[in-house]
Structure 1
């Protein structure tokens, strides 16, 4: 029989080098949970309040890199580790990978933390559907609780996975508002990049992965540079791979005197400095969850211009706290950006105030951690 804990012990099965995981787990620890991370990729610098248990990837030791087979053949290893460390509740992250390993461990109660692509894209796309379709169905059917990143994805899971019996709960993790300069006091980014204090700054925030439609964003930004002599544009590549056509467009932006390409990951301080200088943030994916980068920019006062997809509709009202575009038309996007930049002074303050209030009330990391901790403690009591 398990010995009672003074604190509920959460075992989190996920990627220790993922930026989001590195924020979520310390936040849960601060809610009075004992938190242990089990991972193939331990964080390089540890996490405050979190014990890290490295897992041995059985196939990567031979092949030299992590593969799906490592997740398939680690169920027993994870089960033994969870038992050894006397875990009360398991949260397994990303249904196609650690979520599958968590299911293979046969540990209960288990929370499956879905993202977006793991349940809405890979199980229905190309050859991947033959592997991930039945796999994700099994993961969700065996879960004791399922979390998603918002109402739209919860609705999708309920509609498309008919055999799911567990409660499906939207969890918008949100942002650490203490990290964001919502007063817009910092001018460091503008100073470092020779951007005048009164010049409008438009940022493409989602990188170069094809699902984020970088060609649309880059062509629209180039058109904006040509048609507005005051605006500066910034592209965050997020170190994504790029094809030759994308490289050519990036080169044109780099070579423009008002174009800026950031081809590395920024520190948290640098991101806050960037958002403090951002007037408009652009994100036009074909499918997505709720972008925390967009939420950060909104909290810092930037006007969001987003593709009209279900996840974005859960928090953005067109012309009220941001603007929608179809996301697949660079001319439409360029025209919308030109209009916003031209009207910036008259629309900025109203949108800024509404977004700061909404993020504080609906998308703060602290508030979400409190809610998730209650869910975890509730599951532990049922056992």
Structure 2
């Protein structure tokens, strides 16, 4: 009997992954930090915050859950405190194979925040029987932080929907990343302002989805500077998000740091031409001026530059890339093969 214990925070990414692999197992249990509405999978709640109290209580609670559920595979998402508390609990169960899926912030941000946090990440990487990463760049960074002799599986969770039937593309630029400093939505607004200074580009619109700590600030910038053609549509559901992809000619995302973004894959699948920051993970998918635009200077007129691309060629290249590497089916096969290897 194959039994999966999935350990991760209450985020859409954790449950998207669960949907990807759950039918491979006879039973599944999730350990997370809070319940999620509309999820019918059995869930156990623990605390993952790094406190002295949790240092004792959380591993003890996880050990108890393992003893009762008796999983054949444990899969931990994120090499942060989630993996740290789980690994402290797993000391009593060395024979249960454990997979660690790293997320961008675990590897690209946390180790640089303090010496102790870096040691925590290194400990988590050492303890895993298998590690997965959504990009070659992040896999290389993992091995730089913690040298490993074993290979790292490169896989993502696949696009989260079937692309809508192709509709006629409109002169829309779509942004749907969170309104946090990391994602530099203000730089996108500034680039759009520069774009609107060209007479031939007056009819383009910028649609800004999502929300965050900078939403009010961003709206104030648009209002104060009187920039026409920008619409804030707030947090959108999956169906609405897919519809915006389908209508938009460009999708723009210029974070300071990122691993492979599922939003990037979704945009590519829907025929949007990606405009992305110059990051290693992005360059694994986008070749500048060929199937998208790689922004080396976020203060430049980069949206105007992107309009010079050959839309038809770029969309065709992206469709092939998604079919081979970005679908749920392609990535599910990778994870199942890893489970088979560990169980055998």
Q: Displacement, 1:250?
A: 4.3
1:350 corresponds to which residue?
313
Residue 35 of structure 1 aligns to a residue whose secondary structure is strand
The answer to whether 1:26 aligns with 2:19 is yes
Cα distance in 2 between the residues matched to 1:10 and 1:267: 29
User: How much does 1:159 deviate?
Assistant: 2.0
User: Aligned in 2, Cα 1:33/1:301: closer, same or farther, shift over 3 Å?
Assistant: farther
Kindly indicate whether the alpha-carbon contact (under 8 Å) linking 1:33 and 1:373 is maintained by their aligned counterparts in 2. Answer: no
Provide the residue aligned with 1:274 in structure 2.
Answer: 244
Alpha-carbon distance between aligned partners in 1 of 2:229 and 2:26, rounded to the nearest angstrom = 48
Give CA deviations for 1:127-151 in whole Å, capped at 9, x if unaligned: xx13311111111111111111111
SS at match of 1:200: strand
Q: What secondary structure does 2:248 align onto?
A: coil
**SS class of match (1:99):** helix
Aligned length: 336
Aligned to 2:67, which of 65, 83, 91?
A: 83
The alignment's TM-score, normalised by the length of structure 1, stands at 0.81
1:233 has 2:206 as partner: yes
String of CA shifts for 1:151-207, please: whole Å, max 9, x gaps: 110111112212x455422222221352x21x323xxxxxxxxxxx77410112322
Structure 2 residue 195 is matched with structure 1 residue 201 = no
Determine whether 1:337 maps to 2:303.
Answer: yes
User: In 2, Cα distance between the equivalents of 1:370 and 1:55?
Assistant: 29
How far, CA to CA, are the matches of 1:203 and 1:159 in structure 2? 35
| Distance (whole Å) between structure 2 residues aligned to residue 71 and residue 320 of structure 1 | 50
CA RMSD of aligned residues (A): 2.2
- TM-score (norm. length: structure 2): 0.90
Which whole-Å deviations, capped at 9, do the CAs of 1:340-383 have from their partners, x for residues lacking one? 33x46xx11111111111101111112211210221232122xx
Instruction: Map 1:93-242 onto structure 2 (within 5 A).
Output: 93-106=77-90, 107=93, 108-125=96-113, 129-162=114-147, 164-178=148-162, 180-181=163-164, 183-185=165-167, 199-227=170-198, 228-236=201-209, 238-242=210-214
The equivalent of 2:38 in structure 1 is 45
Displaced runs of 4 or more, over 6 A? none
- SS of 1:91's partner is strand
Question: Is the Cα contact below 8 Å between 1:9 and 1:86 reproduced in 2?
Answer: yes
> Unaligned stretches of 5+ in structure 1?
58-65, 186-196
Quickly say closer, same or farther: Cα 1:320–1:139, change in 2 above 3 A: same
Q: Secondary structure at the match of 2:30?
A: strand
